[in-house]
Amino acid sequence: KKGVFDALPLNPEGRKVGESWDPARDEAAGEQCRAYGAPAIMRIPGRLHITWQDDQTMKVETDAGTQTRVLQFGPAAAAGEPSWQGHSVAQWNIAGRSLKVVTTNLRPGYIRKNGAPYSAKTVLTEYWDLNTFPNGDRFLTITTRVEDPVYFTRPLQTSSDFKKLADAAGWSPTPCSSR
């Protein structure tokens, strides 16, 4: 709901911007994907489809908001124009079992779907870890740290889990929505 910013480290300016949120205005401006940027997309319930685009590029598609993140390994290409998914540079840690991703060059967006903002100066750092449970279930845990010197009083840390499924059953891409 509008104005509910519990657990978010918003400073007074961030709260002011969040309080002025108007989903109809976002829709009219073609900005309905503001809550689907890289700092927020992994917290929106949905499914992921992860593939290799080439030897140095991992592609992560989300069915929520039909977003595509591109994770660059090795020498990073130029960042280009700011976007919802930004520019992500990835590197393997701990014998290739953990992935660190740093994302910059973001368009300003919402950390939550209620207008709580993040700025273009936001830096997103993620750690992607694969876990196998005794029953054989495999989960991807993504731990995020969102740092925003414009709207946050301190970094925001969260984690999300995604269960590996045998097939694409349930994959249901839906467009971004302001509401």
Residue-wise pLDDT tens digits, 64-95: 999 999 999 987 677 789 999 999 999 998 76
Beta strands in 20-86 (DSSP E): 48-54, 57-62, 64-65, 68-72
Query: What is the C-alpha to C-alpha distance for residues 145 and 164, in angstroms, rounded to an integer?
Result: 23
Sign of CA dihedral 11, 108, 62, 124: negative
Residue-wise pLDDT tens digits, 157-174: 999 999 999 999 999 999
Sign of CA dihedral 65, 97, 142, 167: positive
pLDDT given for residue 79 in this prediction:
77
Query: What is the C-alpha to C-alpha distance for residues 124 and 41, in angstroms, rounded to an integer?
Result: 12
Contacts of 124 (CB under 8 A, 6+ apart): 38, 39, 86, 101, 102, 103, 104, 106, 144, 145, 146, 147
The 3-state DSSP class for residue 50 equals strand
Residue-wise pLDDT tens digits, 90-115: 999 876 679 999 999 999 999 999 99
Contacts of 70 (CB under 8 A, 6+ apart): 53, 57, 58, 59, 60, 85, 88
36 phi and psi angles, rounded to 5 deg = -115, 20
pLDDT at position 123 over 80: yes
